[in-house]
Amino acid sequence: MSPEKMIRMANQIAMFFETKPHAEGVNGVAAHINDFWEPRMRRQLLDHLATGGEGLRPLVLEGADLIRKPKAA
Amino acid sequence: MKDFILPDADYGTPAARAKETVTLNIDGYDVTVPAGTSIMRAAMEAGISIPKLCATDSVDAFGSCRLCLVEIDGRAGTPASCTTPVAPGIRVHTQSEAVQTIRRGVMELYASDHPVPGLTDAANGDSELQSMAARVGLREIRYQPVAQHVRQYGADGTSNPDWKPIDDSNPYFSYDPSKCIVCSLCVRACDEVQGTFALTIEGRGFDSRMSAGMADDNYLSSDCVSCGACVQVCPTGSLQEKSIAQMGLPDRSVITTCAYCGVGCNFKAEMRGDELVRMVPYKHGPANRGHSCVKGRFAYGYATHRDRILKPMIRENFSDPWKEVSWDEALGFAATRMKDIITRHGQKSVGVVTSSRCTNEESYLVQKLTRAVFMNNNTDTCARVCHSPTGYGLGQTFGTSAGTQDFDSVEHCDVALVIGANPAAAHPVFASRLKKRLRGGAKLIVVDPRRSETMEGPHYEASHHLALRPGTNVIILSALAHVIVTEKLYDEAFIRTRCDWDEFQDYAEFITDPRHSPEATEALTGVPAAEVRGAARLYATGGNAAIYYGLGVTEHSQGSTAVIGIANLAMMTGNIGRAGVGVNPLRGQNNVQGSCDMGSFPHELPGYRHVKNPEVRAIYEKAWGVEIDPEPGLRINNMLDAAIDGSFKALYCQGEDILQSDPDSQHTAAGLAAMELVIVHDLFLNETANYAHVFFPGSTFLEKDGTFTNAERRINMVRQVMAPKQGYADWEVTQLLANAMGANWTYTHPSQIMDEIAMTTPSFAGVTYEKLDRLGSIQWPCNDSAPEGTPMMHIDGFVRGKGKFIRTEYVATDERTGPRYPLLLTTGRVLSQYNVGAQTRRTENVVWYDEDILEMHPHDAENRGIRDGELVRLASRSGETSLRVWVTDKVSPGVVFTTFHHPGIMANVVTTDYSDWATNCPEYKVTAVQVSPSNGPSEWQETYERHSEQSRRILPAAE
């Protein structure tokens, strides 16, 4: 998936959870990604986060540690 | 042969609903019936059938044929039993000498101006008139008509002005005016059952004849929608299916379920040997109550269309021609390649797409194939691109994605709020039931950018039409909620007992903000604030209010948020948990509900249980003897992305044409082209098959046993009426593929698959084929606490406990109009066609719609120098295509509309890759486009046409 598409998808999730109380929002973003993103997609996102996460909204950045790391393929 | 048929008696007039009862005596027998019942119906309930021609129990009594006359002690004359209500203590005689004489006389008059059928008349055996003539003992016709309607020429050879030719304009049935007795049953069925009011009685007295439309119309040019209701009630064979004339009468019938939309109508498939003669809507079908639409009733010819592929085929590359091979060779080829890909690229490099057109049992096996044989969760289904946001939104708020009501519920509704749905085209039989209620006084609110066919009709129109700008659903839903909350129209008692009051307070604080008010949002939505306020007040205070919604809600970047907004509205007004209310997602395909129930989503095992839960995995690990992957799999769009990235290599796609139906066709094509193995399992060489390496020919719904689950969660039986033309039902093919890869599945009948589903899925725990046969259908959940199923959800409490209010902040889609693409394209369906058209395009339904048409407002057309009927180029950031334009004010200025039924147009070349934030459901309903005059097909269309031709070549089988 193109990096732009991945960033857009993650940010779309973040924007929904931005209306929730902050802590719930951070958890919500990570939980949603854990529940619905296949390991390849999470790996791509985590790799991007590891290099600074440019373009990602704050809730994604803050929830980075809560996103489950996929097992090595 | 499973030919169980419930008694199909015609009671003559509709059932009365009164609670008080009346006892009377008919032919010496005491009968007790509800007050208001007709004598005709009361007699029938006592087993006494009174002769009749103009009465049937689907329409109100009319009293025109004069055959059902009876005598009542102490009353003068011979009243018609259909229009005379029962009264306490009366004594009725249905076969006195006096009425027998009258009946014979009446029949003699009918016969005097009627063709006397010989052995070659197509109406033989299919005509109530003949049966009644026999019953009343008509033996002679003494009258010599001076004028008649029967013969084209008079005795002197001059042409007869009273004679009218047969109207053969409808492709499926014909109207012979000479056989018409002007009973007007057809007119009343069109009015009362279908609600189209296309038919009328023209002329007076002897001149009167039924006529479709105006005097110079025929059936095809009239408003007729070809639902078949008139044909079904015609007592004389004046209106008759052409198939009867061509084939003769059926000799047996089997009750089954339509394979078109999510309404799930039951039909009697009337057979002669293993040929289907006609499909007749089944009166005891709870979804359709004896009604049908043009698709289910008539458009089944695709099953025997010459395009159907009946032999398995394989090829090395999709640029090669197809080679017809044996099932063994095709299965071996597919299994070897699949295993090789898994070995080389890993177990997550392959996946499946289950079909929302196939049976529950078939979808269950396909997801089992990926989970238990491929050992991953890469399964998805058509619901991804239609109702996946319903799953998320209703799951979060109510605790289950299930629609809350049955279709009968509409009879109790006072206000129908229809959002992003056009049931008159996409769910026609439900639309007829809704319209009946609207004519009866219920109010209608429509939220749709288009003035759709549902919005207004004979004897009703929407009280409010919120013609919003595409992409602003969430704003409108929030504005409705804003009005209800700030004007305190909410149901506090319901919220306090059924929901979490604190969560409502939080939501109320959010929604009270003036930025959500209709006035503040008018500029964004284009809907006058007063209309929004009026609609909100009506929804909140108009009595039983039901929401019906479709893909105009879900197929947006904020589809899930909009579904949450809908749930919020229903909860705050207390419109949940009783007849006439609720939240009703109108499902697109016949079994899209079922395919979701069966675990077709990549994060859920059957019954909507997340794969991350070890206790759920344990059930399947025990049943299947394998380890279940705890990670969610890829969704369709993710599969295509991964294919382009090189990590997804093989797909088994059953009964779904993802190339035509999924958005951004060029992206889909690139994804498919990047795979090493695409297995298409379908009736036809569909568009996806242009990129396939293996083709498994599929079976139609007429050729297999199984179940479909409709939008009411109703599990309906599908019964085999003929042997599969290509050798195997689809579930057998999936089993053969699994076994060719080393599984050891041993199902010999779909009932065994259902037993496994019931054993492993709590909401199906009580479902068996035996019970389905006995009850006719079952709405899940069906278990120990609801052994006969659950017609209505959330009666005493929500599935999740307390209903949850969730904030619904509007986020504009990234798809914006601008100078290059100034118009918004939205997409939908028409009545005569279905989905990608693979079935309906291969029937006579093409007489109504043989190409996709672009609807455009006159103002936008004028600006571009475009005239009605011209070819135009429709372009977006994704691609472009050419199609014909219809200049109409059904759409607002700035909005254009088309359908995706025809691959030659391929509307999805234009739609974008944007999708719902929660579920990746594509944003079909909003694409920024430009439209300009055109003189031919787009480059994509030409290239694709060439590719299709190349790709569909089939080598003759080796000798």
For B609-662, write each residue's pLDDT tens digit. 999 999 999 999 999 999 999 999 999 999 999 999 999 999 999 999 999 888
Tell me what pLDDT residue B6 has: 45
A50 occurs within a structural domain: yes
Q: What is the pLDDT of residue B1?
A: 34
Mean per-residue pLDDT for B713-726? 95
| Residues of B in Cβ contact (< 8 Å) with A12 | 557, 811, 917
Residue in A12, A34, A41 nearest the CB of B557: A12
For the segment B786-790, the average pLDDT, to the nearest whole number, is 95
Q: Give me the pLDDT at residue B123, please.
A: 86
Helices (runs of H) and strands (runs of E) counted in chain B: 29, 37
d(CA B722, CA B743): 29
Searching chain B, which residue's CA lies closest to the CA of residue A37? B632
Chain-chain contact of A1 with B557 (C-beta, under 8 angstroms): no
The count of C-alpha atoms lying within 13 angstroms of the C-alpha of B757, restricted to the half-sphere facing its C-beta, is 35
Q: Is residue A36 part of a domain?
A: yes
Residues in chain A within 8 Å Cβ distance of B647: 40
Query: By the CB < 8 Å criterion, does B877 face chain A?
Result: no
* pLDDT interval class at B119 (50, 70, 90): confident
When computed from its CA atoms, the radius of gyration of chain A, rounded to whole angstroms, is 11
Calpha distance B432→B454 (Å, rounded):
10
Q: Which residue of B has its CA nearest to A70?
A: B631
Q: What is the mean pLDDT of residues B851-872?
A: 96
Query: Is residue A34 included in any domain, yes or no?
Result: yes
Distance CA B500, CA B897 (A): 41
DSSP per position, B535-560 = HHHHHHHSSSEEEEE-HHHHSSTTHH
User: Most A CBs within 10 Å: which of B349, B375, B505, B638, as the mutation test of the A interface?
Assistant: B638
d(CA A37, CA A50): 18
B807: nearest CB among A13, A19, A70: A19
Q: What is the pLDDT of residues B657-698, one digit of tens each?
A: 999 888 888 999 999 999 999 999 999 999 999 999 999 999
Residue B741 — pLDDT band, cuts 50, 70, 90? Answer: very high
Comparing CB atoms, the residue among B634, B809, B918 nearest residue A38 is B634
The band of B957, judged by pLDDT with boundaries at 50, 70 and 90, is low
Nearest residue in chain B measured CA to CA from A9 = B917
- Tokens 């909401």 correspond to B763
The 8 Å CB, 24+ separation contacts for B243-250 are: B243/B172, B243/B277, B243/B278, B244/B122, B244/B126, B244/B277, B244/B278, B245/B122, B245/B174, B247/B272, B247/B275, B247/B277, B248/B272, B248/B277, B249/B124, B249/B125, B249/B126, B249/B277, B250/B277, B250/B278
DSSP letter for each residue of B367-403: HHIIIIII-S--EEEGGGGTTHHHHHHHHHHTSS---
CB contact under 8 A, A32 and B645: no
| Pairwise CB contact (< 8 Å): A38 & B631 | yes
Q: What does the pLDDT read at residue B10? A: 93
Q: Of B631, B811, B914, which is closest to A39 when you measure between CB atoms?
A: B631
Q: Is A72 within a domain? A: no
pLDDT digits (tens, 9 = 90+) for A37-68: 999 999 999 999 999 999 999 999 999 999 99
Q: Residue A15 is nearest to which of B510, B811, B915, comparing CB atoms?
A: B811
* Cβ neighbours of residue B309 closer than 8 Å, sequence gap 6 or more: B682, B683, B684, B685, B695, B697, B726
Please report the pLDDT score of residue B156 as a whole number.
Answer: 85
- The interface pTM score, or ipTM, of the predicted complex is 0.96
Diameter over CA atoms, chain B = 92
CB contact under 8 A, B633 and A36: no
- Cβ neighbours of B634 in A, within 8 Å: 38, 40-41
**pLDDT average, residue stretch B59-77:** 96
Q: Of A5, A8, A12, which to mutate for an interface test with B (greatest number of B Cβ within 10 Å)?
A: A12
Domain interval for residue A53: 3-66
In A, which residues are within 8 Å of B612 by CB distance? 34-35
Alpha-carbon B602 to chain mean position: 26
Q: Chain B residue with minimal CA distance to A68?
A: B631
* Structure-token pair, residue B376: 């991953």
Mean pLDDT, range B541-553, rounded to an integer: 96
In a mutational test of the A interface, the residue from B505, B641, B805 whose CB has the highest number of chain A CBs within 10 Å is B641
Does a structural domain hold residue A43? yes
Q: For residue A71, is it within any domain?
A: no
Q: Is the pLDDT of residue B735 over 60?
A: yes
Average pLDDT over residues B237-259: 95
> Per residue in B388-447, pLDDT tens?
999 999 999 999 999 999 999 999 999 999 999 999 999 999 999 999 999 999 999 999
With an 8 Å Cβ cutoff, are A35 and B612 in contact?
A: yes
Distance between CA atoms of residues B399 and B799, nearest Å: 5
**If you count residue pairs, one on A and one on B, with CB atoms under 8 Å apart, how many are there?**
66
Please write down the HEC assignment for all residues of B688-740: HHHHCCEEEECCCHHHCCEEEECCCCEEEEECCCCCCCCCCCHHHHHHHHHHH
Beta strands in B848-887 (DSSP E): 853-856, 871-876, 880-887
Contacts of B915 in chain A (CB under 8 A): 9
Residue B300 has pLDDT above 50, yes or no: yes
For residue A73, is it within any domain? Answer: no
Q: By three-state DSSP, how is residue B815 classified?
A: coil
Closest CB to B346 among A1, A9, A73: A73
Q: Is residue B9 predicted with pLDDT exceeding 90? A: no
| Chain B environment of A19 (Cβ under 8 Å) | 510, 807-809
- Is the Cβ pair B809, A19 closer than 8 Å? yes
Q: Is B816 on the interface with A (CB under 8 A)?
A: no
On whether any CB of chain A is under 8 Å from the CB of B919, the answer is: yes
pLDDT digits (tens, 9 = 90+) for B35-46: 999 999 999 999
Per-chain mean pLDDT for chain B? 94
pLDDT at residue B250 tops 90: yes
B642 CB neighbours in chain A (<8 A) are 1, 40
- Please write the tens of the pLDDT for every residue from A11-45: 999 999 999 999 999 999 999 999 999 999 999 99
Mark yes or no for CB contact B918/A73 under 8 Å.
no
Gap from A52 CA to chain B (nearest CA, Å) = 22
The answer to whether B907 and B882 are in contact (CB under 8 A) is no
Quick check: B632 and A35 CB within 8 A?
yes
Under an 8 A CB cutoff, do B913 and A16 touch?
no
Q: pLDDT value at position B4?
A: 42
Work out the average pLDDT over B844-867.
95
Residue A52 in domain: yes
Mean pLDDT of B288-307: 95
CB contact set of B767 (below 8 Å; sequence gap of 6+): B715, B754, B757, B758, B778, B780, B782
Chain B residues with CB inside 8 Å of A7's CB? none
Q: How confident is the model at residue B506 (pLDDT cuts 50, 70, 90)?
A: very high
Task: Report the alpha-carbon distance of residue B360 to residue B362 in Å, rounded.
Answer: 5
Rg over alpha carbons for chain B, rounded to the nearest Å, is 29
A→B interface, C-beta within 8 Å: 1-2, 5, 8-9, 12-13, 15-16, 18-20, 32, 34-41, 70, 73
- Compute the average pLDDT of residues B177-194: 96
Residue B958 has pLDDT above 60, yes or no: no
Number of domains forming the structure of chain A: 1
